[in-house]
Amino acid sequence: MSDDNDLKQAAEFREAIHKEALAKARTAYPEIDFVIDTHSLDDYLTEYRDYPGICYKIPGVPSGYKNREALIDKIASQTIEKHLRDKAALPEEPFWQLIAEYPDIVVDYAIISANEPYCSYESHWDALTKGALQIFGNEWKLNFNVGKIKAKVISSNLLFDTADENAEMNYRKAFLQPPHPISYTEADFEKVNAVLFPNGTDALEVFKWSTDWSDYFDEGNEWWGSLCLTIYDASLKRFVVIMASATD
């Protein structure tokens, strides 16, 4: 149980994080005036035990982040994503409310309305670039090499393939087996995707993209893995962009 002094220190630490994240988000969109942070105040307290068994808490970065900068990047990215959705005057997707319940995942999402007519690769490419703009935020303009991007079509069945820790990265593995411990289960994965793809998988077309074209993927490419997918849902005439990259 955190006491008032602990919470006060955590609030001050979080406020400093928010100021830095807001400044970063404003480099891309100066009109942004608040940040999106899915972490509770208690998440900003780290518990330590000292000899002879004295327990105390100090302000710190919530678990699941490599360092302070990684947390700031994540908050800035979430803030920009929300700003872009609001700016486009899109109705709030139920998915965004649900995914906020899973702050420890390393998977990033974007939902993009499809342009007509649908042209397979060209349409997926358009969705990828728009989705990357949402996910990368202000990093997009600095760390992107279009000449390195390659893609292949994969079966919609492979999209939800089993998570094998010894196999290459796939969507289920990225969600359930990040490089840090999480408590999420197969049931959580199914719940998220039931909302993300409410009409099932029959109408899905999936492109898997290379992950050597942006430094977004650098940490994952060190050892854990990285992922980049675009999924067209013909029943909803929209794309889902899925990306993941992380390290311990």
* 113 and 189 inside one domain: yes
Alpha-carbon distances, residue 131 vs 16, 76, 248 (angstroms): 29, 16, 25
Q: Domains in the chain: how many in total? A: 2
If 0-12 CB within 10 Å is exposed, 13-18 middle and 19+ buried, where does residue 174 land? buried
Query: How far is 57 from 2, CA to CA, in rounded Å?
Result: 8
Query: How far is 137 from 27, CA to CA, in rounded Å?
Result: 10
Q: How many CB atoms lie within 10 A of CB 37?
A: 19
Query: How far is 166 from 2, CA to CA, in rounded Å?
Result: 40
* 79 and 133 inside one domain: no
Mark which of 69, 88, 107 sits at the end of a domain. Answer: 88
User: Containing domain of residue 46, as a range?
Assistant: 1-88
Query: What per-residue confidence (pLDDT) applies to 174?
Result: 95
List the structure tokens of 86: 């609001």
Which stretches of 31-134 are assigned E, i.e. beta strand? 45-50, 54-59, 107-113
Q: What is the CATH number of the domain that holds 208?
A: 3.40.1000
* 73 and 161 inside one domain: no
* 165 and 190 inside one domain: yes
* 48 and 27 inside one domain: yes
What are the pLDDT tens digits along the chain (248 aa)? 456 788 889 899 999 999 999 999 888 888 888 899 988 888 998 877 776 667 778 888 998 888 999 999 999 988 988 888 777 645 567 898 899 899 899 999 999 988 778 888 999 999 998 888 888 875 544 456 666 788 999 999 889 999 877 778 999 999 999 999 899 999 999 999 999 999 999 899 999 999 988 888 988 888 899 999 999 999 999 999 999 998 87
* 84 and 94 inside one domain: no
* 226 and 241 inside one domain: yes
Mark which of 88, 116, 135 sits at the end of a domain. Answer: 88
Query: What per-residue confidence (pLDDT) applies to 141?
Result: 46
* 113 and 228 inside one domain: yes
If 0-12 CB within 10 Å is exposed, 13-18 middle and 19+ buried, where does residue 109 land? buried
Query: What per-residue confidence (pLDDT) applies to 144?
Result: 60
Query: What per-residue confidence (pLDDT) applies to 97?
Result: 86
Count of all residues that appear for the chain in the document: 248
* 48 and 107 inside one domain: no
Query: How far is 209 from 72, CA to CA, in rounded Å?
Result: 27
* 103 and 28 inside one domain: no
* 19 and 109 inside one domain: no
* 2 and 48 inside one domain: yes
Residue by residue, DSSP assigns 57-70 as EEE-PPTT-SSHHH
Q: CB neighbours of 185 closer than 8 A, spacing ≥ 6?
A: 176
pTM, entire model: 0.65
If 0-12 CB within 10 Å is exposed, 13-18 middle and 19+ buried, where does residue 104 land? middle
